[in-house]
Every structure is written in structure tokens, then in C-alpha cells.
Amino acid sequence: MKRNRTAIRLTVISMLAAISVILVYLIRFPIFPAVPFLEYDPADIPIFMGTMLFGPFYGLLLTAGVSIVQGLTVSASSGIVGIVMHFFATGSFVLSFGLIYKKHKTLKGSIIGSVVGIIVMTAFMTLWNMILTPIFMGAPRAEVMKLMLPFIIPFNLIKAFINASISFVLYNILDRAINFKKFFD
């Protein structure tokens, strides 16, 4: 039975990774046209759902795999900086949310975990945008700093909120239809 659970888990994780890559291929658009490199995409939704299903370790593993595949295929124009930024952004949410949700698998735990995840991701990405965005843009750090409050910080808040909200709704719909505990506990 243990082998079957492992096979199911690996299959689901692989499917979530594939869905994530397909989503970023199909749906991408700038939230703020003034900074077109800050694109919204729903690719984190399957990763967040994987974190709810299997915990923060598997969520982080999924984040790493998806970041690399996306960075080498559908988001290749952003190069290594894009891979690193995606891993840090999604990974910071996955770890903070996942650690809370793992201990409190309730509506309240999900909400608290999501709020903490959104805040941690935004704070983490503020730091990483100060470090890596000047390299990506080929611009002085002072220029990037001018973009922080009007664009970069709101972008991270908006993207994390949308993806966390959709993940929560989809997870609950699917859990009612499939009863995840039957397969994964």
C-alpha cells in the first residue's frame, strides 16, 4: 500500500507541475503596463494546491522543478534571473503557508497561512528585487527603487493574493469531489 501512495503522490506532483507550466504558457499579462516584465500568471495555483496536499517540502520541490522547466521553456527570455526569482517568490510563500497549514488544516489555518505567505513573499521579493532586478533590467539600483512602491510591491501582493485565493477555492471544490484524504493520508 505504501508503494501505491508513493506512486500516486509522484503522479499527482508531476501532473501539477505540467499544469503549472501550461498555465504560464497560456496566461500571462502585465498587471501594470508601465512595467511589462512584472507579469501575472496563474502558474503558482497548482504549486499551492500541491503544498496543501503534501506539505511544504513537496511544495518547495514542486516549485524548484517548475521554476527550472518554465525558465528553460516558456519563460526562457528571463533567463537564470527569472528562474531564481520564481523559485524565491513561490518558495517563500510555499514554505510559510505550508508550515502553518500543515499544523492547522482548517479554514482559519488556511487563511492565516495565506496572509502570512502573502506578506512573506512580498517582503522576500522586495529584497530580491533590490538585488536582482537591476541586473535583469540593466539599470541602476536607484531606478529600480523608484519602481518599488508604485509597482513591484503591489504586484507581489496582488499576484500572491489572487493565486492563493484561487488555490483555496479550487482545492476545496476538488476535495469535496474527490476526498483527498482517501488517497493521500
What CA–CA distance (Å, rounded) separates 145 from 112? 30
Per-residue pLDDT band for 100 (boundaries 50, 70, 90) equals very high
User: Is the CB of residue 20 less than 8 Å from the CB of residue 70?
Assistant: yes
How high is the pLDDT of residue 185? 58
Average pLDDT over residues 32-42: 93
Per-residue pLDDT band for 5 (boundaries 50, 70, 90) equals confident
Average pLDDT over residues 80-90: 94
How high is the pLDDT of residue 7? 85
How high is the pLDDT of residue 78? 86
Query: Mean pLDDT of all residues in the chain?
Result: 93
**Whole-structure pTM value:** 0.92
Distances (CA, A) of 139 to 12, 33, 132: 41, 18, 10
Q: Give percent of the chain with pLDDT exceeding 70.
A: 96
Q: What is the pLDDT of residues 45-77, one digit of tens each?
A: 999 999 999 999 999 999 999 999 999 999 888
Per-residue pLDDT band for 181 (boundaries 50, 70, 90) equals low
CB 92: neighbour CB atoms within 10 A?
Answer: 24
80 pLDDT higher than 80: yes
Q: Which domains does the chain have, with CATH numbers?
A: 2-28+42-184 (1.10.1760.20)
Q: What is the pLDDT of residues 142-174, one digit of tens each?
A: 999 999 999 999 999 999 999 999 999 999 898
How high is the pLDDT of residue 182? 67
Q: Which cell numbers hold the place of 161?
A: 493574493
Q: Which of 145, 41, 126 lies closest to 88 in space, CA to CA?
A: 126
CB-count exposure of residue 67 (10 Å: 0-12, 13-18, 19+): buried
62-68: which pairs have CB atoms within 8 A and are 24 or more residues apart?
62/13, 62/16, 62/17, 62/20, 62/94, 63/87, 63/90, 63/91, 63/94, 64/91, 65/17, 66/17, 66/20, 66/21, 66/90
What CA–CA distance (Å, rounded) separates 60 from 180? 20
